[in-house]
């Protein structure tokens, strides 16, 4: 998620990192210039990565809060409890 936010906010940093990594394997990679379309695509990719990270986190939190089949829900527990309001003794 963090990488996506950084890429969306500053695609130039992503381009600089890519240029540096390419420079390890290719000659004159430092002379490459990113076109504006590539910067827009990189920004869009960053937004997508951030959105996927946020969605994954939200699903993880939701699954942690959902009752499992082994645990009774709060409504079921109150209905079977002898001390529930309206129960006769």
Q: Is the pTM of this model over 0.85?
A: no
Buried b (16+ CB within 10 A) or exposed e, 35-68: eeeeeeebbeebeebbeeeeeeeeeeeeeeeeee
Write down the pLDDT at residue 74.
Answer: 60
Q: What is the mean pLDDT of residues 41-65?
A: 91
Write down the pLDDT at residue 44.
Answer: 93
pLDDT of 89 above 60: no
Task: Count helices and strands (H / E) in the chain.
Answer: 4, 0
Work out the mean pLDDT of the chain and round it to a whole number.
79
Write down the pLDDT at residue 48.
Answer: 92
More confident residue, 25 or 40: 40
Domain locations in the chain?
2-66
């Amino acid at each position: 998620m963090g990488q996506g936010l950084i890429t969306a906010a500053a695609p130039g940093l992503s381009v600089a990192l890519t240029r540096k990594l390419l420079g390890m394997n290719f000659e004159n990679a430092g002379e490459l210039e990113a076109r504006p379309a590539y910067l827009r695509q990189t920004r869009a990719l960053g937004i997508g990565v951030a959105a996927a990270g946020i969605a994954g986190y939200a699903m993880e939190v939701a699954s942690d809060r959902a009752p499992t089949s082994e645990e009774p829900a709060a409504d079921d527990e109150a209905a079977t409890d002898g001390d529930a309001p309206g129960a006769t003794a």
